[in-house]
């Protein structure tokens, strides 16, 4: 993970711009932060453990002098969060400073070679070796660009990094190898960033770097080369507006709650998304005998939902697989198989790794992502955007709903092409059309109860989220939301399975959250509610308007609009669970936008 940002400018005060960009990048990692600039032949460097604003208050990162610099927000992989392990990292003689994102797989071997030749490594990171490798090559008389290029050729792994040096005061050299990196162009400066949303507002156009490329930036020039051949490559400049829009909190206390309340708009955006790309992707699916849906975390939950809608609406053999568990020993690949990857960021390493291993093979690669121009879009033959707008809160909310709705739209198009389930389609379409209003109502009906229940839940150590059928997706997602931002242990479980073990944990006052729309599983789940009540559980249930039985047996109920096609109930029933997680994190005094140990884009496998 980690975020890197660099800028070389015609004007003084570049550290201010780097600092504000690091704040926008903080969702990629926030255990430590650092900034280095070049001025009067020296590297000026400040870094420490802590969040960007905390470290700024202690060290005034934004006051470093100079017109060229790099910055870093860290999510620790190698070496604990500490000042020594924070980036930028330097070599022995202060010839270069390096900010790195990703993993260098052969760092132990390189570290020991560098140690043998007298280098003093001060951190426990895999990243520091990059600075020393470049130093070694500079000492042999190579230019900065060539030293970076040759050092990179000795590295194995997935990474992106940026290098500055007092030897070339206005130059940044950066490299991309399987970790995201974009270049931003403005009138007065050139910059680089791990993510498009972190680019400063006055960046007018961008270049998305490809894997295996090295770029040399000055305030008025960009040169991109192929790392292996050293050949100069043409610049692929695109307007920034074509790939992004800016995010702010818009008066809300946190991005997460703002994004939860943006869900009606996200739904509208999915409804209005151009049909052309959806049909194109649907046509690919129609040609496939089987589709594997791959994703991680919340996006994996969307895969699970996708397998229900693709099977039920489109008669497609769809199998969800957690991306990091995708292996040919448990999936059956063949000529007419497609892999549909789902990823909000489009940069999740576990997902990209699967796709990369099937590029140029007999498997169709397709994707669903919220970030146009992300790595995933360049690996697949066809993809559809989610149009949810930037999601900054680490916990995915509006993009989850957008994923569910877009999967539903795709299923409808497949069914249309195949001419199947015609009656079902019209009902599904009418719910899709009213989904913005239905989600809006789910929010207003349930926010007060979520707030008041959060006080009770904040005092608990553990909770169950139970459901049957398609709403297992909702239970898993509700549990993930609660545990990741409030640090309460939460398990999402099939309700019918709970008596085969988990029920042993239930005692007086144990929170059990049930998802119970009036579908074909209703009376079975009612039985499960009774079982838990009989053992003293405190039962909170999500029910439809007009529900009687579950309402009577539950301690508290979230009420959701009643819809005819029960297959789509996760789109509504997840809403109170998102609110409950958010308010519980607040009640426990945590920042829901920046949960510990997590980051928005998980770019390490
Ligand atoms: C949970 C969450 C993560 C992500 C997961 C995949 O709220 O945000 O579990 O869903 O890291 O990320 P993407 O969708 O970017 O591939």
Q: Which pLDDT tens digit goes with each residue over 151-203?
A: 999 999 989 999 999 999 999 999 999 888 999 999 999 999 998 878 998 99
The active-site residue, picked from 2, 39, 168, 542, is 2
CB 516 within 8 A of CB 542: yes
What local confidence, expressed as pLDDT, does residue 559 receive? 98
Residue 453 CA neighbour count, 13 Å, CB half: 25
Does residue 164 come out as left (phi exceeding 0), alpha (psi in the -120 to 50 range) or beta?
A: beta
φ, ψ at 241 (rounded to 5°) = -60, -25
CB of 297 shorter than 6 A to ligand 1: yes
What local confidence, expressed as pLDDT, does residue 248 receive? 64
Atom number, ligand 1, closest to the C-alpha of residue 345: 15
CB of 348 shorter than 6 A to ligand 1: yes
- Given pLDDT bands bounded at 50, 70 and 90, which one contains residue 265? very high
Residue nearest to atom 4 of ligand 1 (CA): 297
Q: Are strands 32-39 and 68-74 parallel, antiparallel or unpaired?
A: antiparallel
Q: Which pLDDT tens digit goes with each residue over 298-346?
A: 999 999 999 999 999 999 999 999 999 998 877 778 778 999 999 999 9
Instruction: Write down the domain spans for the chain.
Output: 3-251, 252-420, 444-595
- Given pLDDT bands bounded at 50, 70 and 90, which one contains residue 437? very high
Q: Which of 196, 295, 297 to mutate to test the pocket of ligand 1 (most atoms within 8 A of CB)?
A: 297
CATH class, domain 444-595, is alpha beta
Rounded mean pLDDT of 422-439? 96
- Given pLDDT bands bounded at 50, 70 and 90, which one contains residue 243? low
Rounded mean pLDDT of 74-100? 93
Concatenated DSSP letters for 379-392?
TSSEEEE-------
Bridge partners, 367 (sequence order): 341, 383
Q: Is 2 a catalytic residue?
A: yes
CB 263 within 8 A of CB 443: yes
Concatenated DSSP letters for 132-145?
HHHHHHHHTT--HH
Alpha carbon of 81 to ligand 1 centroid (Å) = 22
Atom number, ligand 1, closest to the C-alpha of residue 397: 7
What local confidence, expressed as pLDDT, does residue 300 receive? 98
pLDDT(480) > 60? yes
What CATH homologous superfamily does 252-420 map to? Glucose-6-phosphate isomerase like protein; domain 1 (3.40.50.10490)
Above pLDDT 70, what percent of the chain?
Answer: 98
Q: How far apart are CA 370 and CA 244, in angstroms?
A: 10
Q: Which pLDDT tens digit goes with each residue over 9-60?
A: 999 999 999 999 999 888 777 889 999 999 999 999 999 999 999 999 999 9
Asked if the domains at 252-420 and 444-595 fall in one CATH topology, the answer is: yes
Above pLDDT 90, what percent of the chain?
Answer: 84
Rounded mean pLDDT of 479-486? 98
What local confidence, expressed as pLDDT, does residue 241 receive? 63
Of 87, 182, 171, residue with least CA distance to 127: 87
Angle between helices 144-153 and 128-139 (to 10 degrees): 130
Q: Which of 196, 296, 305, 476 to mutate to test the pocket of ligand 1 (most atoms within 8 A of CB)?
A: 296
Alpha carbon of 350 to ligand 1 centroid (Å) = 11
pLDDT(530) > 90? yes
CB 341 within 8 A of CB 326: no
Sign of CA pseudo-dihedral 581, 582, 583, 584: positive
CB of 574 shorter than 6 A to ligand 1: no
What local confidence, expressed as pLDDT, does residue 429 receive? 97
- State the average pLDDT for the chain: 94
Alpha carbon of 299 to ligand 1 centroid (Å) = 6
Q: Which of 75, 197, 301, 348 to mutate to test the pocket of ligand 1 (most atoms within 8 A of CB)?
A: 348
Rounded mean pLDDT of 579-604? 89
**3-251 CATH fold:** 3.60.20
pLDDT(246) > 60? no
CB of 371 shorter than 6 A to ligand 1: no
Q: Which pLDDT tens digit goes with each residue over 11-24?
A: 999 999 999 999 98
Question: Which tokens belong to 604?
Answer: 């390490």
Q: Which pLDDT tens digit goes with each residue over 197-238?
A: 789 989 989 998 999 999 999 999 999 999 999 999 999 888
The active-site residue, picked from 240, 364, 398, 600, is 600
What local confidence, expressed as pLDDT, does residue 250 receive? 65
Q: How far apart are CA 478 and CA 513, in angstroms?
A: 9
Q: Is 499 a catalytic residue?
A: no
What local confidence, expressed as pLDDT, does residue 66 receive? 97
Q: Which pLDDT tens digit goes with each residue over 360-406?
A: 888 999 999 998 878 899 899 999 999 998 898 999 999 999 999 99
CB 401 within 8 A of CB 385: no
What local confidence, expressed as pLDDT, does residue 63 receive? 97
CB of 602 shorter than 6 A to ligand 1: yes
pLDDT(493) > 70? yes
Residue nearest to atom 6 of ligand 1 (CA): 296
Alpha carbon of 459 to ligand 1 centroid (Å) = 27
Q: How far apart are CA 517 and CA 469, in angstroms?
A: 11
CB 110 within 8 A of CB 129: yes
CB of 393 shorter than 6 A to ligand 1: no
Sign of CA pseudo-dihedral 434, 437, 441, 443: positive
- Given pLDDT bands bounded at 50, 70 and 90, which one contains residue 474? very high
Alpha carbon of 319 to ligand 1 centroid (Å) = 19
């Amino acid at each position: 993970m980690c975020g890197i940002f660099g800028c070389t400018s015609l004007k003084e005060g570049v550290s201010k711009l780097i600092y504000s960009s690091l704040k926008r990048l903080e969702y990629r990692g926030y255990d430590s932060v650092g900034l280095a600039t070049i001025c009067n032949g020296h590297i000026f460097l400040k870094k420490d453990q802590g969040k960007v604003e905390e470290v700024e208050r202690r060290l005034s990162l934004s006051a470093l002098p100079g017109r060229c610099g790099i910055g870093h927000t860290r999510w620790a992989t190698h070496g604990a969060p500490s000042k020594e392990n924070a980036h930028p990292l330097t070599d022995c003689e202060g010839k270069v400073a390096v900010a790195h994102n990703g993993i260098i797989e052969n760092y132990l071997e390189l570290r020991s070679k560098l140690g043998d030749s007298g280098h003093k490594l001060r951190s426990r990171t895999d990243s520091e070796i990059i600075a020393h490798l470049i130093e070694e090559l500079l000492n042999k008389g190579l230019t900065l660009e060539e030293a970076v290029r040759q050092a990179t050729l000795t590295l194995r792994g997935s990474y992106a990094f940026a290098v500055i040096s007092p030897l070339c005061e206005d130059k940044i050299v950066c490299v991309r190898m399987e970790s995201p990196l974009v270049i931003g162009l403005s009138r007065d400066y050139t910059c680089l960033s791990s993510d498009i949303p972190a680019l400063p507002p006055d960046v007018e156009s961008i270049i998305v770097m490809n894997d295996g490329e090295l770029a040399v930036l000055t305030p008025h020039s960009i040169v991109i080369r192929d790392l292996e051949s050293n050949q100069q490559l043409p610049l692929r400049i695109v307007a920034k507006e074509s790939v992004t829009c800016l995010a702010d909190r818009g008066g809300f206390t946190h991005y997460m709650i703002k994004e939860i309340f943006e869900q009606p708009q996200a739904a509208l955006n999915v409804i209005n998304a151009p049909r052309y790309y959806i049909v194109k992707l649907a046509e690919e699916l129609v040609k496939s005998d089987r589709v594997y849906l791959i994703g991680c975390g919340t996006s994996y939950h969307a895969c699970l939902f996708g397998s229900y809608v693709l099977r039920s609406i489109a008669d497609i053999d769809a199998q969800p697989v957690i991306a990091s568990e995708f292996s040919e020993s448990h999936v059956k690949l063949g000529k007419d198989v497609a892999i549909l990857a789902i990823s909000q960021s489009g940069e999740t390493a576990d997902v990209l790794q699967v796709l990369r291993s099937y590029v140029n093979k007999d498997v169709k690669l397709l994707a669903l992502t919220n970030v146009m121009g992300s790595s995933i879009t360049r690996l697949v033959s066809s993809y559809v955007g989610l149009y949810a707008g930037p999601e900054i809160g680490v916990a995915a909310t509006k993009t989850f709903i957008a994923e569910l709705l877009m999967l539903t739209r795709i299923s409808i198009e497949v069914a249309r092409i195949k001419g199947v389930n015609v009656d079902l389609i019209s009902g599904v379409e009418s719910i899709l059309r009213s989904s913005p209003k239905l989600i809006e109502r789910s929010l207003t009906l349930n926010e007060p109860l979520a707030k008041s229940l959060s006080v009770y839940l904040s005092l608990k150590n553990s909770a169950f989220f139970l459901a049957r059928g398609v709403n297992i997706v909702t239970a898993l997602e509700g549990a993930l939301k609660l545990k990741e931002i409030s640090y309460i242990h939460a398990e999402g479980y099939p309700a019918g399975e709970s008596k085969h073990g988990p029920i042993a944990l239930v005692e007086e006052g144990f929170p059990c959250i049930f998802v119970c729309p009036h579908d074909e599983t209703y009376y079975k789940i009612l039985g499960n509610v009774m079982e838990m009540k009989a053992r003293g559980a405190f039962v909170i249930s999500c029910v439809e308007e007009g529900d009687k039985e579950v309402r009577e047996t539950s301690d508290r109920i979230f009420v959701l609009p009643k819809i005819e096609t029960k297959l789509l109930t996760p789109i509504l029933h997840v809403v109170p669970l998102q609110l409950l997680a958010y308010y519980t994190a607040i009640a426990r005094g945590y920042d829901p936008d920046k949960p510990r140990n997590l980051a928005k884009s998980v770019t390490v496998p």
